[in-house]
Chain A
Amino acid sequence: GAVVSQHPSWVICKSGTSVKIECRSLDFQATTMFWYRQFPKQSLMLMATSNEGSKATYEQGVEKDKFLINHASLTLSTLTVTSAHPEDSSFYICSAEPIFKDSYNSPLHFGNGTRLTVT
């Protein structure tokens, strides 16, 4: 149980184009999903918290207009990197927290990540 699917697993795009990454909770509902960014050999940095039916909450320093987040249903959140540039190349990972937890603060369930390369 508690499977999170992330698509695509990797994508190469040209500078200036936009890329959409999907995060789906396959066997549970999630009002909250999280988007992390990981540069090579670095830790995960939370970019934003995606809330179903409302605006995402962005961490300090993350550009809202560049990283558009939509959480239209209880099982899907999308991250769109707009007008991508080479410095946006990174590993993006989503995670989701089930609405109904077996105990407080269940582990975050992570997708397999999306490796974005902007040329």
Chain B
Amino acid sequence: AQKVTQAQTEISVVEKEDVTLDCVYETRDTTYYLFWYKQPPSGELVFLIRRNSFDEQNEISGRYSWNFQKSTSSFNFTITASQVVDSAVYFCALNTGGFKTIFGAGTRLFVKA
């Protein structure tokens, strides 16, 4: 069975703090893809990153960084020096090569000024 767990329902931080959003996935497939999406209050989904199962390199994009560890089946997302505009719901998602993408429950991030 495939599953994505985002254990943190809500996180509240003060601006400029660093924050890490956890994502743990389950799959028996050896080839799979992991994604992070951002959903701001307006509702649209914004693609942040895709990582395939053969690429465990961590990635940094500006204030965003991702830590992919197959040994613990985790794909965590860190925002450095958070800003109010980062307030949104963040979804981790898993695709095992078919058409179906499974989303985690989402983590709602509040960044206070």
Binding site for B on A (CB under 8 A): 32, 34, 41-46, 49, 91, 93, 95, 97, 104-113, 115
Contacts and interface: CB of A to CB of B under 8 A. Distances in A.
22 contacts: A43-B91, A43-B105, A43-B106, A44-B103, A49-B100, A91-B43, A104-B97, A105-B50, A105-B52, A105-B97, A106-B50, A107-B50, A108-B35, A108-B47, A110-B37, A110-B44, A110-B45, A111-B44, A112-B43, A113-B43, A113-B44, A115-B43
Nearest to A10: B43
A93 B45 contact: yes
Contact of B101 (A46, A91, A113, A115): A46
A49 B97 CA distance: 15
A115 to B, nearest CB: 7
Interface on chain A toward B: helix, strand, loop, or mixed SS? strand
Interface of B: 33, 35, 37, 42-45, 47, 50, 52, 91, 95, 97, 99-101, 103-106, 108
A107 B91 contact: no
A34 B99 contact: yes
Contacts of A41: 108
A9 to B, nearest CB: 8
A62 to B, nearest CB: 13
Contact of A44 (B33, B91, B108): B91
Contacts of B43: 91, 93, 112-113, 115
A105 B103 contact: no
Nearest to A57: B99
A113 B47 CA distance: 15
Contacts of B106: 42-43
B105 to A, nearest CB: 5
A43 B95 CA distance: 16
Residue of B37, B45, B95, B104 ringed by the most chain A CB atoms within 10 A: B45
